């Protein structure tokens, strides 16, 4: 009887250990470039940093770009809404001094951009928590010129979602 109990205990232990493994450990991947995701604990600061990092990947100085539009079909005179990322610093939601500092940086960047294109770039929405940036409406031709400026990290077209007809 003791031998049966020992064998049963070992089998139960083995089943519990195997069930603790992630189910993807036994999955065979047909696609060699599939990445298995892992769970990590995140905080507000991590989220802000990750969003900023992803947005900054669209910066003009890197080979890879963040493309928010499928195929731009804009004429240079078309009015478009852009998002400007000033730099990679962000403010904690409760830190008013940090927010004011970021807003001053944004105003300085908007003034530099205005001088570069010869028209006023007026920020419509200003972002300080997840990224240091603002949105503005300019022409598509001005957008292309603003992407080349050194006073900002990146400039990209604001995505517009429309319901399917």
Residue 34 within a domain? no
Domain count, the chain: 1
What is the average pLDDT across 46-65?
A: 53
pLDDT tens-digit map of 63-116? 554 444 455 578 888 999 999 998 888 877 778 888 888 889 999 999 999 999
Residue 15 within a domain? no
The whole-number pLDDT of residue 33 equals 53
Residue 49 has pLDDT above 80, yes or no: no
Q: Which residue has the higher pLDDT, 59 or 136?
A: 136
pLDDT tens-digit map of 115-143? 999 999 988 888 888 888 999 999 999 99
Residue 41 has pLDDT above 60, yes or no: no
Q: How far apart, in Å, are the Cα atoms of 10 and each of 1, 4, 20?
A: 14, 10, 15
Within 8 A by CB and 6+ apart from 112, the residues are: 149, 151
The whole-number pLDDT of residue 69 equals 47
Residue 163 within a domain? no
Within 8 A by CB and 6+ apart from 142, the residues are: 117, 119
The whole-number pLDDT of residue 114 equals 92
pTM of the complete model:
0.53
Residue 118 within a domain? yes
CATH number of the CATH domain containing 98: 3.30.70.80
Residue 80 within a domain? yes
Percent of the chain with pLDDT over 70: 65
125-127, strands of its sheet edge to edge: 125-127, 132-139, 79-87, 154-157
The whole-number pLDDT of residue 159 equals 79
What is the average pLDDT across 7-23?
A: 78
Residue 2 within a domain? no
Residue 55 within a domain? yes
| Domain of residue 77, residue span | 44-157
User: Phi then psi for 8, rounded to 5 degrees?
Assistant: -60, -40
């Amino acid at each position: 009887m003791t031998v049966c109990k020992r064998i049963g205990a070992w089998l139960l232990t083995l089943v519990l250990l195997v069930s603790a493994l992630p189910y993807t450990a036994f999955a065979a991947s047909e696609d060699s470039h599939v990445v298995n995701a892992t769970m990590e604990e995140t905080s507000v600061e991590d989220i802000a940093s990750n969003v900023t990092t992803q947005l900054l990947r669209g910066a003009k100085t890197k080979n890879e770009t963040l493309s928010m539009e499928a195929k731009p079909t804009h004429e240079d005179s078309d009015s478009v809404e852009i998002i400007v990322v000033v730099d990679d610093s962000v403010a904690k939601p409760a830190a008013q001094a940090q927010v004011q500092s970021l807003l001053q940086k944004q105003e300085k960047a908007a003034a530099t951009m205005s001088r570069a294109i010869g028209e006023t770039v007026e920020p419509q929405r200003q972002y300080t928590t997840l990224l240091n940036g603002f949105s503005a409406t300019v022409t598509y031709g001005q957008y292309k010129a603003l992407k080349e400026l050194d006073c900002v990290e990146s400039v990209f077209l604001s995505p517009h979602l429309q319901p399917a007809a």
